[in-house]
Chains A and B, each alone.
Chain A
Amino acid sequence: MKNTLEISPKDMINAFLLFFVITTCQTGVGIQGFQRLIYADAKHDAWISVILAGLSSHIIVFFMIKTLELYGSNDLYGIHQDLFGKHLGNLLNFIYILYCSVAFFLILENYIEVISTWVFPRLNPKFISISLLLLVIYTFLGGLRVIVGVSFFSFLLGLWLLPVLIFPLKFSNIEYLLPILDTDIISILKGAQSMTFTIIGFEIINIIYPFVKEKDKVKRHVHLGLLVTSFIYLTVMLITLTYFSGEQLAKTIWATLSLFSIIRLPFIERIEFITICFWLIIILPNLCFYLWAAYRGSIRLFNVSSKKFVWIFSTIIFIFSLFVQTRIQINTYTTYLSKVAFILVFIYPVVLYILALMKKKFSGKYGEKNE
């Protein structure tokens, strides 16, 4: 099909880097406390929900890549414009930009909330958000290759957090997992749906696809990335479920961070403070990629330079962050976002694929007649 994006080779990235892009985009603020949300629906079978959510992410990514392959080298914004025409396509593009911006905003707010609760209760949140935004702006202005580099290091530097979770295993009680499948299927599926906010991030493939050098290897690396994150989520979920008793987990807001709180090493008494501060490196690629995705969409709508865009964007985010102060607000907005994300990330790509396939068939026929 027509309408492909021309990208100079020096802006492109290797396909294997997609593995790091996908894993770091998926893990973020969600993993700090996703357990209780899923426990609320699926009870002690929550780990089955995690597996189901992981499986469905694989299926959705399969459709996403299929759609992108139809167009050769284009991103979601271009596909929208091609499929729905200029006006409707741009409206959809605008919705997607809005979604990326809100996701960016809520990741930022959730992280600030964690910092304020655990580490610096009396520090002004404005200060944290300004310093985080400055860091994101600095990374963003380096371009896509720098952002990908950040996500590569974020993955490697964050690896030490996993073995630390062995310590809480001392307190694990396997009986909390039994009997398996005690909860009905509907509740388990509901639990899988509650994973949305935690598991999203892989939709970045829609935008980053034209920038990948070896298009034939995209599938392999993206699915590998998804597999690794699903595995991380499953491990964390199993450790959590055996470590906390049911009602206790329902009351623990950031269960992953509480897992760290039992660890007492001879040289560090309270390791959770280090992990919370370290989480900045984990969420940095998250923020950068959502910002970048929003930027890629915006240049299709307006004529704007990346520098101008990032400053305007950050200012708007900062102004909005002044209005969101309490935990309840952040919680409500996060729930809304995860509902929207469920439609946008888990249902819409399938619809889009069917439409793109139909369009390809029809336009092919018309083409023959005209000739």
Chain B
Amino acid sequence: MNKWRFIILSVCIITLAGCAETKILERISITTLIGYDLEDNDKVSTTAVIRQVNPEFESKVDTISAENYTSKGTRAKINLKTSKKIMAGQLRVVLLGDELVKNDIGPTLESLSKDPDISSSISLAVVEGKAKPLIEHKYENIKDIGQHIYMLLEQNVEREHSISSTLHEVSRVYYSPLSDLILPVLKKKDDLVEISGIAFFNDAKMVGQLPSSDGFFVKISRDNYKSGILEIIINANGLASQSDQNLPDEVPISIDAIKTVRKLKLIDSSDLEFDLNIKIKGRILELHPDVNVGNPRLVKELEKAIDKKITSEISRVIAYSQEINADVYGFGEHYRSHVRNSKLTSEKWHEIYPKIKVNVQVDFETIRSGVFE
């Protein structure tokens, strides 16, 4: 009796397992990259990079696009154009045309978060102009644009050259009423795709953009920073007094292996004054040959000059964000978490934000300066 029960049960388990939905690799096409654009008639146009695995040939990469009123509606239309059903489980990157993000990013984020097929670790990025031409262009050296853009973003986020923009991080900021989001901006340059800048949002709309070179300053004012490289031009007036050689007025300097610790403090809750204290440790990689880094007094002057430069740069990017009213640094969130019963709303905070005062203080410390002095 027990034996028979066991046999029947195992037969059921083995045979019924195949009754669930099957997704056979040869019969599906895998989407790796999707681009959304806003069209003139309020429709969304979707361009998808699709990888198909054929038993005979090696896998083939295609792009297909379609227009409809909802982004999922375009998926149905795209399905009409392929012989294999489209699956989004391997989606890695979603690109958003800048007209779409200047209008409203909300519906796109919501539709992406709703879909259980889509992981919350996919990356988002804004495209300067439209996403469609960037995806559809036949690049000379890029075989699979989907994989290429994914690697491009991933590599730069890992090295901290670009801001991390996973769906989770983006929607977390988007749904938090007191902070605004930033996204990396991609641009097609002849036969290359490059990360050209950072898009600033006010609530759901993109309101401004800074070049990629300011990314470092934006990043260290938002969070702690663990690697990366920075090139700045410092004022050499202070150095001249310590150095026997003649120095030019401005000296370019390159720093890497950077570690920063960011501390934000609300010092006056009625006047809204914040202290932003950033400690940076780094290695001087490249410097004018006449600056002798073996001289401790000179290094001190050098650090002072670097402090001054970075402070002014950070103040500039913060002032820019206040000008376009996009609190991407988390001042609002900090205020809410440190003032009891603040009852702040998004509108109220955005009224206040341009008026807040931020005292930036940077403390740079040279850890070492390479193998050659």
Contacts and interface: CB of A to CB of B under 8 A. Distances in A.
B119 A245 contact: no
Interface in B5-22: 5, 9, 12, 16, 19-21
Contacts of B21: 120, 122-123
A54 B119 CA distance: 33
Contacts of A138: 5, 9
Given A123-B20, A123-B21, A270 B341 contact: no
Interface string A225-259: 00000000000000000011111100100000010
A269 B91 CA distance: 11
B175 A269 contact: no
B119 A270 contact: yes
Contacts of B173: 245
A127 B16 CA distance: 10
A245 B166 contact: no
A13 B171 CA distance: 50
Contact of A182 (B19, B121, B169, B340): B340
Interface string A134-154: 100010000000000000000
A246 B175 contact: yes
A88 B27 CA distance: 63
Contact of A131 (B16, B120, B330): B16
Contacts of B175: 245-248, 251
A264 B121 contact: yes
A117 interface: yes
Interface string A163-204: 000000001010111110010000000000000000000000
Contacts of A270: 89, 119
A262 interface: yes
Given A123-B21, A245-B172, A179 B177 contact: no
A167 to B, nearest CB: 10
B119 A171 contact: no
Contacts of B9: 138
Contact of B168 (A175, A179, A262, A269): A262
A332 B43 CA distance: 36
Contacts of B172: 171, 243-245, 248
A9 B151 CA distance: 64
Interface residues of A, number: 33
A140 to B, nearest CB: 13
Contact of B119 (A127, A179, A244, A262): A262
A261 interface: yes
A118 interface: yes
B116 interface: yes
Nearest to A117: B116
A176 B21 CA distance: 40
A138 B12 CA distance: 13
B245 interface: no
A152 B177 CA distance: 45
B337 interface: yes
A175 B339 contact: no
A47 B330 CA distance: 23
Interface of A: 117-123, 127, 131, 134, 138, 171, 173, 175-179, 182, 243-248, 251, 258, 261-264, 269-270
14 contacts: A123-B20, A138-B5, A171-B168, A173-B333, A179-B337, A245-B179, A248-B172, A248-B175, A251-B175, A261-B119, A261-B121, A261-B168, A262-B121, A270-B89
Interface of B: 5, 9, 12, 16, 19-21, 89-90, 113, 116, 119-121, 166, 168-169, 171-177, 179, 330, 333-334, 337-341
> Which 5 pairs across A and B sit closest by C-beta, in order of nearness?
A178-B337, A245-B176, A247-B175, A248-B175, A175-B337
